[in-house]
Amino acid sequence: MCFEFNAEPPISPQSGSAARGEEIVLDSADGTRFLAYAAHTGTPSKAGIIVLPDVRGLFHFYKELALRFAEAGIEAVAIDYFGRTAGLTDRDQDFDFWPHVMETRRETLDADIAAAVAYLRGLPHAPQSLFTVGFCFGGSNSFLQASNNPGLAGVIGFYGGLAGPSRNGSPTALERACASTIPVLGLFGGADPMITAEHVQKFDEELDKAHVEHEIITYPGAPHSFFDRAQAEYAKESEDAWKRILGFVAAHTKA
């Protein structure tokens, strides 16, 4: 598991911002309806981002994070993974997420991400350059989009698992890294017991082989899920990560 249920993004809300959020339902290619949360900027934006949660699915942390992106001038939509197995029910503190995680499939995850892409492209002032950002389980899903979804402008992953065992026969991010076609930003904690330094180094090397622009950052001493307001001792790391994300999006957004 990534964040606790009461976690908050480590970025403070912007006072007086015109950003606003709304609960929405999206339709996937197989007809599945699933939960999402859209956060809109106060003025038209050229950049949009799909937020991919951890194994809990769509809950408070990711809705707030979507709003922080909108306040920064980036249209955002955070999605849930479990429309096929849990319907449109809330992902509250009592939601037993793990059985639903085990039922996810690579092709349906990709389809749901594609539905979020279509939603952003269908906005009245549609952003031209789209990105994904994910955390833990979502980080792995985001990295995989670098080889699955060339229509994106780039992908960002926080401490996404890189190596096996894979779930339901899905390839790992490390296995697919050499097939990446778009820029990648990877953010890892140096004290993360779930992701080894060797795997991070190998991921970097495989992206080199793919000849794609990439930046892999490891924060020494930072644990898994350090990007959390409760992890106050890693506030500087979180601030740096946020600046890198905004810089990455700005650098790869069409003028």
Is 149 inside any structural domain? yes
Is 4 inside any structural domain? no
Range of the domain at 208: 20-251
Is 1 inside any structural domain? no
Is 196 inside any structural domain? yes
Is 54 inside any structural domain? yes
Tokens 């029910």 belong to 89
Domain total of the chain: 1
Tens-place pLDDT, residues 73-109: 999 999 999 999 999 998 999 999 999 999 999 999 9
Is 8 inside any structural domain? no
Tens-place pLDDT, residues 111-150: 999 999 999 999 999 999 999 999 999 999 999 999 987 7
Domain containing residue 53: CATH number = 3.40.50.1820
Q: Is the pLDDT of residue 248 over 60?
A: yes
Is 235 inside any structural domain? yes
Tens-place pLDDT, residues 211-247: 999 999 999 999 999 999 999 999 999 999 999 999 9
Is 75 inside any structural domain? yes
